[in-house]
Structure 1
């Protein structure tokens, strides 16, 4: 009897897993299937982001990425783990409806709720022109990821000079007014990401896109759930 019950639970679990997989378009996976211990802080599922409220299309804090990019991130995590380090993810696949939410927010000049923390020296009207927000995001193609490095024991993020989504020159890879530690940390992240096939975005130290992305011209709009 116990054996039969165990088989039943196993079948239910396998069915649930398969059903979850089918909810994603072909070629997409949940990154935690490849890195179960992954540190996740999905900012757009919370109110702690540059808009100040949860973003459209984020129904959960799950990290979704193309399988091709996920396999590369898995290799990065394994290499960092040897040093007692790991990755923390802030965003990965992003539905187009979320990008549209950003666009609506950017047009509302009076809404500056989070300005002091995220864009203190940038006019909100210039966020598109300066390349901090785009009407079409590589995130919606599923192979772009925003992340940093953490200490596995303390879970503390390595000091990168400024936080994720800080809109200013300080976030750029060419910004030099950093401490030696901050420079070294950014270089460490950039080197290991590039080693496994990712390319950096010049204006944001946290933003990387997999070079061999499977959907180079297709933008998706399914929810993160």
Structure 2
């Protein structure tokens, strides 16, 4: 027997009541569906990464910006380097300043070869790599590796972590810092794999090879280097790792800030003071 309320109305909670509630819920849901908020548009990539000039942050760190000169594996100034400056994001520069403090405490100083690298420079390297006849610097920088293999072997990369602004090519020098002879275009080239007293007179401590030496001997843990060079590489890696950087196993000089501010963005500002914020 059906239980009824006054005047024969169905009891609360009965089938009619449940039907009305269901219709109301459906209407509210339908109305809400039409008011769904759109997904926010993706933020455009920044055009300026907040670069600073390293020497403004720490004037104690030496620099030898090779791509602004003719003394590099290309043999001329690289596109995008009108000024011989080390530009880095502010966090990377501050981290390197702290590494310099630790290096000086160990009786050494830092010297940088390359810092922020615009994308146009990477494209310049790619164009150069396709011109197989341009090998005037092979005898020094890649004496035992074919030019056609430089990208495949990981000695050159595109895109490059340098273009994100928090990667640096660095070495150690003695304190007080020795003088370094200038490079004269056309001078006889010596293999970067030659003993330190024979290759280009870089004032770096002995690292087993010269900078930008595209050779297995430049791999960070290469067994082919002497004890002094092995210890110098160990010290550099320890200083940089403790300072928040991550190394690259094929280049003893290459380090990237672990917590870099732009891990997925590549920039193309030229290496000039005007590119800083």
Structure 2 contact 49–165 (Cα < 8 Å) conserved: no
Q: Which residue of 2 aligns with 1:144?
A: 167
Q: Which residue of 1 aligns with 2:266?
A: 219
Structure 2 contact 108–175 (Cα < 8 Å) conserved: yes
SS across alignment from 1:189: helix
CA displacement 1:34-71 (0-9 Å, x = unmatched): 11132110000000000000000001111100111111
Equivalenced residue count is 202
Residue segments in structure 1 that go unaligned for 5+ positions in a row = 1-23
Task: State the 1:26 CA deviation.
Answer: 4.7
SS across alignment from 2:140: helix
Structure 2 contact 98–243 (Cα < 8 Å) conserved: yes
Q: Which residue of 2 aligns with 1:21?
A: none
SS across alignment from 2:111: strand
Structure 1 contact 132–203 (Cα < 8 Å) conserved: yes
Larger Rg: 2
Quick one: distance in 2 between partners of 1:109 and 1:168?
18
Q: Which residue of 1 aligns with 2:116?
A: 93
Structure 1 contact 55–98 (Cα < 8 Å) conserved: yes
Q: Which residue of 1 aligns with 2:211?
A: 164
Superposition TM-score, scaled by structure 2 size: 0.71
The answer as to 2:93 corresponding to 1:70 is yes
Quick one: distance in 2 between partners of 1:85 and 1:173?
19
Quick one: distance in 2 between partners of 1:60 and 1:96?
16
Q: How does 1:96-135 map to 2 (within 5 A)?
A: 96-135=119-158
Q: Which residue of 2 aligns with 1:205?
A: 252
Q: How does 1:11-90 map to 2 (within 5 A)?
A: 25-90=48-113
SS across alignment from 1:86: strand
Quick one: distance in 1 between partners of 2:265 and 2:49?
13
Structure 1 contact 92–139 (Cα < 8 Å) conserved: yes
The alpha-carbon distance between structure 1 residues 189 and 54, as it changes in their structure 2 partners (threshold 3 A), is same
Quick one: distance in 2 between partners of 1:26 and 1:98?
17
Task: State the 1:189 CA deviation.
Answer: 0.1
Task: Tell me the C-alpha RMSD between the 2 structures.
Answer: 1.1
Quick one: distance in 1 between partners of 2:224 and 2:49?
44
Superposition TM-score, scaled by structure 1 size: 0.87
Q: Which residue of 2 aligns with 1:196?
A: 243
Q: Which 4+ residue blocks in structure 1 deviate beyond 6 angstroms? A: none
Q: Which residue of 2 aligns with 1:173?
A: 220
